Structure 1
């Protein structure tokens, strides 16, 4: 059973039309994010790193690690999904844009599916992200219940 550690790996993803919202959210919540490792796709990672480093510099605090993956449409969503399936990501904050068609919609759906499959907290909008980050569970270790898929893996497949 994977445990969500007290020091978490938080994935931050934002579609182009939601990057401004994400940076405002990061700037507002930077103190809550500093103790954790942040993992981001593409440009979101660059912007998160700049935003959080600026806030930390102003307050003379060491910034958190920001792991930058590829851009979502270039495979970053799939990289992130792999990290989730390996138990290396504890939660996903994904400000997606429901009003814009995405060239990688299938990757977005797969990322949300794998997050649900592995039962990690997911926020797809600012309100839910606020609820997650303000939860008392955010600041402690947590053991989510992971469904046992061994019977699916061991099923008899006829050829």
Structure 2
């Protein structure tokens, strides 16, 4: 039996509602994947879609971004969906840049907004 591929979900604070809505809208497709998410984002997705296989890691600034980065580097993530809030300064901006860099280096699809995430998810599902 093969393990389900993993999708990483991350959302800045003001984008967490949008991520929960994205998960609800695409719950059927997401059910074919394991989901890894940073702490609060993961909890919000679990609340929105209790039937999904979601692992909530640490909060992004407390190491969750690095945990997801490690999964990308070891081939454990198929798609990174990171709903970024471009209008709010983020003290852990270097972590965001590191994740986008890893997605590029390891050649995995990266979506920074819903308009990109939806067609990528459809292509994988």
Query: Which residue matches 2:93?
Result: 105
Q: How does 1:8-87 map to 2 (within 5 A)?
A: 8-53=5-50, 63-87=51-75
Equivalence for 1:157? none
Q: Provide the C-alpha distance between the structure 2 equivalents of 1:64 and 1:23, rounded to a whole number of angstroms.
A: 12
Q: Write out per-residue CA displacement over residues 83-102 of structure 1, whole angstroms, 9 at most, x where no aligned residue.
A: 11011111101001111110
Q: Write the distance in 2 (CA, Å) between the matches of 1:106 and 1:39.
A: 20
Equivalent residue number for residue 123 of structure 1: 111
2:76 equivalent among 72, 80, 88: 88
**Cα shift at 1:68:** 1.1
Is the 2:37–2:57 contact (alpha carbons within 8 Å) kept by the matching residues of 1?
A: yes
TM-score (norm 2): 0.94
Q: Following the alignment from structure 2 to structure 1, what is the Cα–Cα distance between the partners of residues 119 and 53?
A: 23
- Matched residue SS, 1:92: strand
Which segments of 5 or more consecutive residues in structure 2 lack a partner in the other structure? none
How many corresponding residue pairs?
A: 124
Taking the aligned partners of 1:22 and 1:110, their CA distance within structure 2 comes to 21
- For the residue of structure 2 that corresponds to 1:11, the secondary structure is strand
Which sections of structure 1, spanning at least 5 residues, go unmatched? Answer: 54-62, 140-159
Per-residue deviation, 1:64: 3.1
